[in-house]
């Protein structure tokens, strides 16, 4: 029935990055079909990484048969510094795919050419992200009012791991401790109800609250303007999203670092298509049953997609990079 269809549609939208009655905001209009997956696999030449692989897979939305993949990934080595760059971008909104593809296209070359890349990669990443976002916002062909992307990235240089995060994609490391595998998130998700993030949003005049659904199960906390129920962004940091940024959403990356040791076995970089219904521990347990990264990637995506269908009757775009670690 029409009522039942509306109820199901509401449920499938529960966990979208942006919510609105405007079809342009949710990316439901004017999309072209694109079924191609991005698949790569290489043996790592970087000290701590023995092999890595990545896949970006289009999701499924029953109300949008022409949906395209809004995720993107980067797997790129810089020989001059002995660095391996692994990045995932999770676009959202009408132009989310254009935003994600812009950063995929421009970020590596600009980063590797930055004057401070060799000696201060943290500053280099901050500078390049800021400069590229400024370029994007000045491009009138990409409407970023209600569109943007997350960005999570790891730089492995020797045995050192540097992580930068903007949004709710995530990086997790598997470490062997006393014969067991311990999974540790090395990035911190930028959810609107994280206390420090919510404080910044409220101070900027924005609001944070979850949408209440008729079935009694609320959606995730979202960011709204102080005077209007838009944009409903389900993260507190992103690139683009000019309306959300006026409500306190930030594009400043948050950094963490650690020295990898022989106890560290794997690194997973992924969009929230993987993490939404799978814990860090589940991901790493499944990952380490596989004998090569590509098989681990395929296994994780298949399981994540199955859980999305079971929980929401919709599948988010899912991008997963797996790197196997071998530290001397």
Question: What percentage of residues in the chain have a pLDDT greater than 90?
Answer: 80
Average pLDDT, the chain: 89
Residue 36: the pLDDT is 40
**Model confidence pLDDT, tens digit, residues 70-115:** 999 999 999 999 999 999 999 999 999 999 999 999 999 999 999 9
* Structure-model confidence comparison of residues 44 and 153, the more confident one: 153
Q: What SS3 string covers the chain?
A: CHHHHHHHHHHHCCCCCCCCCCHHHHCCCCCCCECCCEEEEEECCCCCEEEEEEEEECCECCCCCCCECCEEEEEEEECCCCEEEEEEEEEECCCHHHHHHHHHHHHHHHHHCCCCCCCCHHHHHHHHHHHHHHHHHCCCCCCCCCCEECEEEEEEECCEEEEEEECCCEEEEEEEECCEEEEEECCCCCCCCCHHHHHHHHHCCCEEEECCCCCCCCCCEEEECCCCCCEEECCCECEECHHHHCCCCECCCEEEEEECCCCEEEEEEECHHHHCCCCHHHHHHHHCCCCCHHHHHHHHHHHHHHHHHHHHCCECCEEEEEEEECCC
> Does residue 178 register a pLDDT over 90?
yes
> Does residue 32 register a pLDDT over 80?
no
What is the pTM assigned to this prediction? 0.89
**Model confidence pLDDT, tens digit, residues 279-326:** 999 999 999 999 999 999 999 999 999 999 999 999 999 999 999 999
Residue 152: the pLDDT is 98
């Amino acid at each position: 029935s029409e009522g039942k269809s509306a109820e199901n549609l509401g449920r499938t939208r529960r966990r979208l990055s942006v919510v609105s009655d405007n079809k342009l905001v949710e990316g439901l209009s004017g999309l072209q079909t694109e079924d191609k997956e991005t698949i790569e696999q290489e043996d790592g030449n970087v000290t701590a990484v023995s092999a890595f692989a990545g896949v970006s897979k289009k999701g499924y939305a029953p109300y949008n048969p022409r949906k395209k993949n809004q995720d993107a990934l980067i797997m790129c080595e810089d020989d001059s510094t002995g660095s391996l760059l692994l990045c995932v971008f999770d676009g959202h909104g009408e132009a989310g795919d254009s935003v994600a593809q812009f950063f995929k296209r421009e970020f590596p070359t600009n980063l590797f050419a930055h004057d401070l890349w060799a000696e201060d990669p943290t500053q280099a990443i901050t500078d390049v992200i800021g400069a590229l976002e400024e370029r994007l916002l000045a491009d009138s062909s990409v409407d970023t009012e209600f569109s943007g992307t997350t960005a999570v990235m790891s730089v492995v240089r020797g045995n050192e791991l540097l992580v930068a995060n903007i949004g709710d994609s995530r990086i997790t490391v598997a470490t062997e401790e006393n014969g067991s595998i311990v999974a540790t998130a090395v990035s911190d998700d930028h959810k609107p109800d994280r206390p420090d993030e919510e404080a910044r949003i409220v101070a900027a005049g924005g609001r944070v609250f979850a949408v209440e659904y008729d079935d009694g199960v609320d959606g995730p906390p979202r960011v709204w303007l102080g005077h209007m129920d838009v944009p409903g962004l389900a993260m507190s940091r992103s690139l683009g999203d000019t309306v959300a940024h006026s409500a306190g959403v930030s594009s400043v990356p948050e950094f963490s670092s650690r020295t990898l040791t022989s106890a560290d076995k794997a690194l997973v970089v992924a969009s929230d298509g993987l993490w939404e219904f799978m814990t860090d521990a589940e991901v790493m347990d499944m990952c380490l049953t596989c004998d090569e990264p590509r098989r681990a990637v395929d296994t994780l995506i298949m399981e994540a997609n199955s859980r999305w269908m079971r929980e929401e009757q919709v599948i988010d775009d899912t991008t997963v990079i797996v790197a196997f670690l071998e530290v001397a």
